[in-house]
A = this chain, B = another copy of it.
């Protein structure tokens, strides 16, 4: 719905620019959401962007600015006078200002910091000091804090006074005189309370919080577990230092899911949307893994080479190598991907190691038996009878099916164990997914294949 709208709008706006109907354009812009204006302006191209941006009223301009792509933001800032830049920066929430600064080159950052008022500059610098992807780095300092001995009436006054500058006023946090977090009050309970009720009587004390150094993935998981709309962040001394709002948590969730998916497919994750990436940037994100996996396939090559004479004697064996390797790879990645996702969502911990292995072992045996039986019948009926490939003896069929069964069990065990071990030693479990496991399973399945063949065929 929204996308079609912006598409139609873009062409309207194009023609209004052609005919220089600027006041009409202004009238249109003020009816739109900042996100849609950013999309429409983004499609105009670098030449007309600054002109159109100047048509926006001050506050809308800042809100639109933060929704734009970093390239466009940089272009606009380079064209801004210092006064114009200040107008935009003053309107930004401090966490948005930090996001902006993280994307800009050093000279632009310098200008932004020079323009910000001293207090904002100090806060920005504080937030920039938190480790990347930590709760501290995504939080904002613009929240409403209340004292336990305030009345509901006083609290509502305070909320009203601060409302314009705060990211959310719907959950307020209660702190004692040492700034320690002692509870929370929703605006709902505030407006339902009698005027003279004390905050301490209506506040919730079962506050869910995170600390500044917690990983952003944990922040996102906490949001979804407790259905929160904001989450307070405390420092090591339990003092309230910021909040994360749900819109930022949603961005983290999507970012983390995309990152996991990319890593599972052997791609170095990037923040940029696909269509914005140049072929060269895509190449850079993909080539290291392809290279590594290609070179590590040297092992499978060596294994095959060392059994060359056997393969020359039993040529039929070669035909089943792809099927064995693929089924092993697929079985392994089913297990690894399931475990990786459960780890990301916080549903699994390393302490579940033996539970997981025992579960996967049983699943593997079920899969191994059913696939081996089906394959034995299939080879007999399709390959031998239907296709008339008489070089496949019953012994060869048995070698293939026994190898298949063992490969599946090994693949599932490797697949579930590796991500958990990676998590334990502080590696990213997602990197352990299909391509990596496929390479290991390939080598193992070939070794099993030739061992089984040795026993049954006497290679």
Contact = CB atoms under 8 A, between A and B. Distances in A.
A295 B71 CA distance: 49
A287 B326 contact: no
A151 to B, nearest CB: 16
B345 A275 contact: no
Contact of A371 (B210, B267, B294): B294
Interface stretch (A45-53, A105-113, A244-252): A244-252
A408 to B, nearest CB: 8
A367 interface: yes
Copies in the complex: 2
Interface string A132-159: 0000000000000000000000001001
A318 interface: yes
A371 B382 CA distance: 37
Nearest to A359: B279
Interface in A369-385: 370-371, 374-375, 378, 382-383
B326 A297 contact: yes
Interface in A140-198: 156, 159-160, 163-164, 169-170, 187-188, 191-192
Contacts of A214: 1
A302 interface: yes
Interface string A287-331: 101110111011011101100100110011011111101110111
A265 B319 contact: no
A188 to B, nearest CB: 6
Ranked 5 nearest A-B pairs via Cβ: A297-B323, A227-B247, A265-B337, A279-B362, A257-B257
Given A163-B191, A261-B264, A266-B330, 5 more contacts: A1-B210, A274-B339, A274-B342, A308-B318, A329-B438
21 contacts: A160-B191, A169-B188, A187-B187, A223-B250, A253-B254, A261-B341, A262-B341, A279-B363, A286-B363, A290-B408, A294-B327, A295-B374, A298-B383, A300-B323, A304-B318, A305-B389, A311-B315, A318-B318, A321-B321, A321-B322, A325-B326
Interface of A: 1-3, 31-33, 35, 156, 159-160, 163-164, 169-170, 187-188, 191-192, 205-206, 208-211, 214, 218, 222-229, 246-247, 249-251, 253-254, 257-258, 260-262, 264-267, 273-275, 279-280, 282-283, 286-287, 289-291, 293-295, 297-298, 300-302, 304-305, 308, 311-312, 315-316, 318-323, 325-327, 329-331, 333-334, 337-339, 341-342, 345-349, 352, 355-356, 359, 362-363, 366-367, 370-371, 374-375, 378, 382-383, 387, 389, 391, 404, 408, 434-435, 438-439, 442, 446
